C-alpha cells in the first residue's frame, strides 16, 4: 500500500513544456469523447436487447448478444483503417452517411426516456413527455457549447457502472442458471436473425475513431484498437446473461418499453434496489440522447463548417414529432427493420472512406 502510494502516478508528470501541455489537453478531450462514445454504444446495445431482442429470444438472448460482437469487431477493424485524420475534402461529406443512424439512436433514447416517465407518472400528458425529452436535451446541448457534453459525462462513468451493477448483479432479481439455453439450441437461422437484428446497435463503435472532430488527434500513437468498446461489451453480455436467466415477463399483457427497460429491477426483492436499478435507465438514456446530439453536431459542423450551430440540435424536432404524432406500436414495428440498417450505413461509410483514402494515397 505504502509502495503504491509512493509510486502513484499523480505525483509524476510528463508535462514539461508548452507542447506537452497542449498534447495533454487534446488527450484529455479525446479520453472524455471516447468515454461518451462508450456510453452511446452501451445505451444502444442494452436498448436493442431489452426492447427488441428479448421478446423473441428469451433465454437465447445471451447467444445473440455474444455473436453480435462479430459485427462489432468488423466495424471496429474497418474504421480503424478508414478513419484517417484530418477529415477534409470529400471524406468529410461521407460522414453525413452516419446522420440517419444518429436520428434513429435519438428516437430510441427519446422513446425509452418518455416511456420511463410514463411508467413513473402515468398521468403525465403525452405531449408533456415529448416536450421533456425534447427541450431538456436541446437546452443542454445549446448551453454546453463545444465540449461541455463529453466533459460533463466523463465524471459520470463510474456512477453509471455502479448503477448498472446495482440493476443487474446486485439486483437480487429472480434469476436462475437453469433458464439459460445451451448454445445454438435455437438453430442457426434464429441465431443469425438475432445477430442481424442486433448488428445495428453496434454502430456507435465507429464514433470512437471520429470524436472529437473539432481538434486534431493527439500525437501519441497507440498500437492496436482502442479498448473503449470493451466495457460496453462486457456490460452488454452481463445484461444479456441476466435477462436470459430472468423469469420471463411476457406472459401477461405486452409491456410498455419503460416497463421492459426496468424489468430486471422490477423482479428485485428489495424496493430500494428496484428504484436504484430504474435510476440506471433514467440517467443513461438522457446521456445517450445528449451524446448522440453532440456527435451529430460534431459531424454536421465538420461536413458543413458554414452551417449554423443551432441546426443539428433542432433535428431533435423530427424524432420528437414522430414520438408525438405516430402510434408507438406502428413505429416500433418499422424500427425492427430500420435499426439493423445502421450497421450497413456505418459499414458503407467506412468502406467509402477507405476507398477515398486509397485514392488519395495513390494520387
Partner 1 sequence: MPTEFYRDVEKNVRLMEEMLHLDVNNDVVARRFHAVGLSCALYYVEGMSSGESMGEHLLWPLQSSPLNLSGRNAAREVMKHVLTAPEVKTEANPRKAVQELLFGQTLILFDGCTEAVVADLRSYSRRSVSTPQTETLVVGPHDAFNETLRDNLTLLHRRMATPDFVCSIKSLGDKAATQLAICYVDGLCPRETIEEIQRRLNKINLDQVLTSGILEQLIEDDPYAPLPQMAATERPDRAVSFLMEGQAVLLLDGSPRALALPMGIWHLYHSPDDSYMRWQYGTVMRVLRLIGALLALYLPAVFVSLVIYHPMTIPMTLLTSIVQSRSAIPLSLLGEALLMLLIFDLINESAQRTPSLMGSSLGLVSTLILGSAAVEAGLVSPLLIIVVALTGLGSYALPNYSLSFALRIGQILLLLAAGLMGWTGLCYMSLLLLCWVASMTSLGYPYLAPTSPRRTHNPDIVSRQPVFRQRLRTYVSNPAEMRRTVGPMRWMRKGGGK
**Contact call for residue 316 and partner 1 (CB under 8 A):** no
In 39-130, where do the E strands start and end?
A: none
| CA-wise closest residue to 47 among 98, 115, 132, 93 | 115
Q: Per CB under 8 A, which region of 29-37, 180-188, 244-252, 340-348 contacts partner 1?
A: 29-37
d(CA 141, CA 298): 11
**Contact call for residue 38 and partner 1 (CB under 8 A):** no
**Contact call for residue 286 and partner 1 (CB under 8 A):** yes
Q: Per CB under 8 A, which region of 74-82, 102-110, 280-288, 345-353 contacts partner 1?
A: 280-288
**Contact call for residue 14 and partner 1 (CB under 8 A):** yes
**Contact call for residue 176 and partner 1 (CB under 8 A):** no
Q: How far is the CB of 284 from partner 1 (least distance, A)?
A: 9
**Contact call for residue 117 and partner 1 (CB under 8 A):** yes
Which position has the grid cell 401477461? 252
Which position has the grid cell 439450441? 185
* Phi and psi at residue 42, to the nearest 5°: -60, -45
**Contact call for residue 15 and partner 1 (CB under 8 A):** yes
Specify the residue, 120 or 337, whose C-beta has the smaller distance to partner 1.
120
| CA-wise closest residue to 70 among 222, 194, 239 | 194
d(CA 325, CA 334): 15
Q: Per CB under 8 A, which region of 60-68, 171-179, 278-286, 329-337 contacts partner 1?
A: 278-286
- Dmax over CA atoms of the chain, in Å, equals 65
* Cα angle 343, 344, 347; round to 5: 85
**Contact call for residue 173 and partner 1 (CB under 8 A):** no
d(CA 201, CA 341): 10
Among 74, 84, 152, 165, binds partner 1 (CB under 8 A): 152
Among 3, 88, 272, 363, binds partner 1 (CB under 8 A): 272
Cα–Cα separations (whole angstroms), residue 319 to 16, 103, 244, 361: 48, 7, 31, 40
Per-residue contact flags (x/-) with partner 1 for residues 123 to 142, judged by CB under 8 A: -x-------x---xx-xxx-
Among 121, 162, 311, 321, binds partner 1 (CB under 8 A): 121
Residue 172 near residue 28, CB atoms below 8 Å: no
**Counting every residue, how long is the chain?**
363
Q: Per CB under 8 A, which region of 114-122, 220-228, 240-248, 298-306 contacts partner 1?
A: 114-122
Chain positions contacting partner 1, by CB under 8 A: 5, 8, 10-18, 20-21, 24-25, 28-29, 31-32, 113, 116-117, 120-121, 124, 132, 136-137, 139-141, 143-149, 151-156, 271-272, 274-275, 278-279, 282-283, 286-287, 290
Amino acid at each position: 500500500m505504502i509502495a503504491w502510494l509512493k509510486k502513484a502516478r499523480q505525483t509524476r508528470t510528463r508535462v514539461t513544456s508548452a507542447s506537452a501541455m497542449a498534447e495533454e489537453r487534446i488527450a484529455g478531450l479525446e479520453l472524455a469523447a471516447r468515454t461518451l462514445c462508450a456510453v452511446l454504444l452501451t445505451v444502444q446495445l442494452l436498448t436493442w436487447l431489452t426492447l427488441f431482442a428479448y421478446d423473441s429470444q428469451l433465454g437465447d438472448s445471451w447467444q445473440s448478444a455474444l455473436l453480435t460482437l462479430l459485427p462489432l469487431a468488423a466495424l471496429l477493424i474497418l474504421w480503424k483503417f478508414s478513419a484517417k485524420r484530418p477529415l477534409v475534402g470529400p471524406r468529410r461529406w461521407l460522414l453525413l452517411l452516419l446522420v440517419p443512424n444518429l436520428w434513429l439512436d435519438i428516437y430510441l433514447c427519446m422513446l425509452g426516456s418518455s416511456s420511463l416517465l410514463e411508467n413513473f407518472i402515468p398521468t403525465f400528458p403525452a405531449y408533456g413527455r415529448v416536450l421533456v425529452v425534447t427541450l431538456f436535451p436541446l437546452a443542454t446541448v445549446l448551453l454546453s457549447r463545444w465540449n461541455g457534453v463529453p466533459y460533463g459525462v466523463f465524471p459520470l462513468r463510474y456512477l453509471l457502472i455502479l448503477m448498472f451493477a446495482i440493476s443487474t448483479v446486485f439486483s437480487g432479481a429472480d434469476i436462475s442458471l437453469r433458464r439459460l439455453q445451451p448454445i445454438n439450441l435455437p438453430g442457426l437461422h434464429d441465431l443469425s436473425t438475432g445477430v442481424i437484428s442486433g448488428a445495428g446497435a453496434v454502430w456507435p463503435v465507429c464514433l470512437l475513431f471520429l470524436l472529437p472532430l473539432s481538434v486534431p488527434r493527439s500525437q501519441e500513437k497507440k498500437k492496436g484498437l482502442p479498448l473503449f468498446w470493451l466495457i460496453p461489451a462486457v456490460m452488454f453480455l452481463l445484461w444479456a446473461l441476466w435477462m436470459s436467466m430472468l423469469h420471463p415477463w411476457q406472459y401477461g399483457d405486452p409491456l410498455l418499453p419503460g416497463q421492459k427497460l426496468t424489468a430486471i429491477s422490477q423482479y428485485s426483492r428489495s424496493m430500494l434496489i428496484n428504484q436504484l436499478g430504474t435510476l440506471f435507465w433514467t440517467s443513461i438514456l438522457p446521456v445517450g440522447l445528449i451524446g448522440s446530439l453532440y456527435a451529430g453536431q460534431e459531424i454536421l459542423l465538420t461536413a458543413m463548417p458554414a452551417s449554423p450551430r443551432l441546426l443539428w440540435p433542432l433535428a431533435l424536432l423530427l424524432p420528437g414529432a414522430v414520438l408525438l404524432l405516430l402510434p408507438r406500436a406502428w413505429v416500433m414495428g418499422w424500427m425492427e427493420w430500420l435499426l439493423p440498417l445502421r450497421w450497413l450505413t456505418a459499414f458503407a461509410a467506412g468502406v467509402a472512406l477507405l476507398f477515398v483514402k486509397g485514392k488519395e494515397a495513390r494520387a
